[in-house]
């Protein structure tokens, strides 16, 4: 079912699973066709290219420390030995800001963008209902989280294969694993990074229910993201920081250890689930009682 058909559906019909799938497919296609979304994905894909070229140039210049003299992620110096490390480095470089910003933009526009363009009330005329529509929007945002993360990972893998050798992987712990196992860990890391954005997605969706301006919702979500990142860097707030959704984001590096350290990974996933539950419930409470006039 196309988006136009969904908007034209009359009320009073009970939504079928096929109708729900059609609405979800329509939302996914609409989101991915936006120039804004394509631009965000292009920027994310470009980050590994820039990092890979920078490391290659540094290597040719006689340095193996990587850009910034080793100030980057802990495994950035390993890129020249194995291009697979570019995947880990690119995810570490994009996770603090670029990935969550992209997710915040998509999530912030999910409801507010429909209200601002005048299509929200027509969507609600369809038999899905507010709860089902909200779940569809959130599923779309989560799908974008996975897609955006995979774009970074795949771009980094391609660039790493073109510029650097591939082979057995030396973990942070100093042990060696096969390339196939390293590739499996890279995929697992990408999925963990995508799951780390669940909290931002729920927060953005909640903000999106508070206003009819997509731009305001996107700006507010990105502003909150920046604020949380700043708070996470202030030493005096160390007691508060473990409860900030960004605090354990870089714990995915523990998946490059042998054996894997699970403590911070579990804390990160649990914290994201908590934020998703809290702000998802707040978004549902707000959206189901909101007076829709646009």
State the Cα–Cα distance between residues 7 and 86, nearest whole angstrom. Answer: 44
User: Is the confidence at residue 191, as pLDDT, over 80?
Assistant: yes
Which pair of tokens denotes residue 15? 């939504």
State the Cα–Cα distance between residues 173 and 16, nearest whole angstrom. Answer: 52
User: Is the confidence at residue 98, as pLDDT, over 60?
Assistant: yes
* Contact call for residues 195 and 251 (beta carbons, < 8 A): no
Average pLDDT over residues 169-184: 88
Contacts (Cβ under 8 Å, ≥6 apart) of 83:
52, 157, 159, 160, 161, 162, 163, 164, 165, 166
User: What pLDDT, on a 0 to 100 scale, did the predictor assign at position 72?
Assistant: 42
Average pLDDT over residues 73-77: 65
State the Cα–Cα distance between residues 214 and 252, nearest whole angstrom. Answer: 32
Average pLDDT over residues 238-255: 92
Which pair of tokens denotes residue 9? 């559906």
User: Is the confidence at residue 70, as pLDDT, over 50?
Assistant: no
Average pLDDT over residues 265-284: 95
- Nearest CA to 55 among 41, 35, 85, 76? 76
- Nearest CA to 47 among 107, 85, 80, 89? 89
* Contact call for residues 43 and 121 (beta carbons, < 8 A): no
User: What pLDDT, on a 0 to 100 scale, did the predictor assign at position 4?
Assistant: 43
DSSP 40-60: HHHHHHHHHHHHHHHHHHHHH
Return the percentage of the chain with pLDDT > 70, whole number.
Answer: 84
User: What pLDDT, on a 0 to 100 scale, did the predictor assign at position 208?
Assistant: 93
- Nearest CA to 44 among 153, 186, 180, 158? 153
pLDDT higher at 185 or 74: 185
Looking at 63-67, 72-76, 100-104, 253-257, which range is the least confident one? 63-67
pLDDT higher at 121 or 45: 45
User: Is the confidence at residue 73, as pLDDT, over 70?
Assistant: no
Q: What are the CA-CA distances from residue 206 to residues 211, 276, 282, 283 (Å)?
A: 10, 10, 6, 4
Residue 102's pLDDT band, with cuts at 50, 70 and 90, is very high
pLDDT in tens, 253-263: 999 888 888 99
User: What pLDDT, on a 0 to 100 scale, did the predictor assign at position 67?
Assistant: 42
User: What pLDDT, on a 0 to 100 scale, did the predictor assign at position 141?
Assistant: 94
User: What pLDDT, on a 0 to 100 scale, did the predictor assign at position 19?
Assistant: 54
User: What pLDDT, on a 0 to 100 scale, did the predictor assign at position 263?
Assistant: 93
């Amino acid at each position: 079912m196309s988006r136009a058909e969904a908007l034209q559906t009359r009320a009073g019909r009970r939504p079928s699973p096929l109708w729900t799938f059609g609405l979800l497919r329509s939302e996914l296609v609409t989101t991915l066709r936006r120039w804004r979304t394509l631009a965000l994905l292009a920027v994310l894909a470009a980050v590994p290219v820039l990092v890979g070229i920078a490391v290659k140039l540094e290597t040719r210049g006689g340095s193996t420390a990587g850009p910034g003299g080793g100030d980057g992620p802990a495994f950035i110096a390993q890129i020249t030995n194995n291009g697979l490390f570019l995947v880990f480095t690119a995810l570490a470089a994009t996770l603090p800001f670029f990935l969550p910003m992209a997710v915040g933009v998509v999530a912030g526009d999910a409801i507010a963008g429909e209200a601002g363009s005048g299509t929200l009330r027509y969507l609600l005329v369809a038999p899905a209902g507010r709860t089902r529509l909200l779940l569809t929007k959130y599923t779309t945002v989560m799908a974008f989280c996975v897609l955006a993360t995979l774009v970074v990972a795949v771009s980094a893998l391609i660039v790493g294969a073109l510029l650097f050798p591939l082979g057995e992987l030396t973990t942070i712990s100093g042990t060696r694993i096969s390339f196939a196992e390293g590739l499996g860990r890279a995929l697992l890391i990408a999925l963990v990074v995508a799951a780390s954005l669940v909290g931002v997605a729920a927060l953005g969706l909640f903000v999106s229910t508070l206003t009819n301006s997509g731009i305001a919702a996107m700006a507010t979500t990105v502003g909150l993201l920046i604020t949380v990142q700043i708070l996470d860097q202030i030493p005096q707030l160390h007691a508060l920081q473990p409860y900030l959704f960004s605090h354990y984001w870089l714990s995915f590096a523990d998946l490059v250890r042998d054996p894997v350290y699970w403590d911070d990974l579990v804390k990160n996933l649990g914290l994201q689930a908590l934020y998703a539950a809290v702000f998802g419930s707040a978004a549902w409470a707000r959206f189901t009682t909101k007076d829709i006039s646009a």
